[in-house]
């Protein structure tokens, strides 16, 4: 890509697989130093960061714990000498039909919102405080589910992604004059480790039937947009949500 991100330092949550891996790799290819966050994929994250060969590092944290999310940002910022771009990509996609019982449903609801929304909020707050006086950008990876809704099994997921979008817009409106920009990307189904169970259950054909295009969205379709945002060339679109879903939901 002809985007120069030399001098930019990014923290990418969920950076060791799927969409996050593509984003971290693309940012590094453009010259950025990347903090690659992982929960369970530590060996891969460390190997990725080492392979970037530019001072990038891997950072572990379980985002079920809001204090771990806070410490993740603080540690990454201190270790890397500051953060210019926060990409909230980490998320979980756990099914729980309302008929599965109150306990199971609440457990799924609490876990999903903790990882997808609460940790995002904590990281955004830390970023806002860090960016004051220096500026910075936030990219939240949400979902078309925030607009279209989801099936009954994924009510918590859709709610969490809707919250991410509202949070991102509010940050853009509230802190723009302090040089803080905030964006949301809303993919449809992307073939990643997170969506494997859903695709195995429902089949590629069902997902493909919703698309206007003839192939599913890939992680590499999303990553270049994050690099473009990081370059500062899209700053006047702060607060916007950009749909990348193969035309499966247009609004």
Task: Say if CB 73 and CB 136 are below 8 A apart.
Answer: no
Burial class (CB in 10 A: 0-12, 13-18, 19+), 214: exposed
Q: How many whole angstroms separate alpha carbon 40 and alpha carbon 189? A: 23
Q: Looking at 154, 157, 189, 249, which residue is catalytic?
A: 157
Task: Say if CB 245 and CB 144 are below 8 A apart.
Answer: yes
Using CA atoms, how far residue 243 sits from 8, 24, 191, 219, 234, in Å, is 25, 20, 16, 13, 15
Q: How many whole angstroms separate alpha carbon 185 and alpha carbon 239? A: 11
Residue 233 makes CB contacts below 8 A (sequence gap 6+) with: none
Active site residue 157: yes
Number of neighbours of residue 66 by Cβ within 10 angstroms: 14
Q: Note the helical H segments in 57-202.
A: 66-80, 102-113, 119-131, 145-148, 155-175, 196-202
Mutual orientation of helices 102-113 and 155-175 as an angle, nearest 10°? 30
Give catalytic residues, as residue numbers.
157
């Amino acid at each position: 890509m002809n985007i120069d991100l030399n001098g930019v330092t990014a923290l990418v949550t969920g950076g060791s697989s799927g969409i996050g891996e593509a984003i971290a790799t693309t940012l590094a290819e453009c010259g950025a130093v990347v903090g690659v966050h992982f929960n369970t994929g530590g060996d891969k994250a460390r190997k990725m960061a080492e392979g970037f060969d530019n001072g990038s590092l891997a950072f572990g944290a379980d985002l079920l714990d809001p204090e771990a999310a806070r410490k993740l940002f603080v540690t990454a910022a201190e270790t890397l000498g500051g953060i210019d771009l926060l990409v909230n990509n980490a998320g979980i996609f756990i099914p729980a039909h309302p008929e599965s019982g109150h306990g199971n449903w609440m457990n799924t609801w609490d876990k999903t919102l903790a990882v997808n929304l609460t940790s995002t909020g904590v990281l955004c707050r830390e970023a806002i405080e860090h960016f004051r006086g220096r500026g910075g950008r936030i990219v939240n990876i949400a979902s078309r589910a925030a607009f279209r809704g989801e099936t009954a099994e994924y009510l918590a997921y859709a709610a969490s992604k809707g919250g991410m979008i509202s949070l991102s817009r509010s940050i853009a409106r509230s802190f723009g004059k302090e040089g803080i920009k905030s964006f949301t990307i809303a993919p449809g189904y992307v073939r990643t480790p997170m969506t494997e169970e859903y695709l195995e259950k429902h089949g590629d054909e069902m997902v493909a039937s919703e698309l206007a295009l003839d192939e599913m969205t890939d992680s590499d379709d999303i990553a270049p947009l994050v690099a473009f945002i990081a370059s500062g060339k899209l700053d006047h679109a702060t607060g916007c949500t950009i749909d990348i879903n193969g035309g499966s939901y247009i609004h």
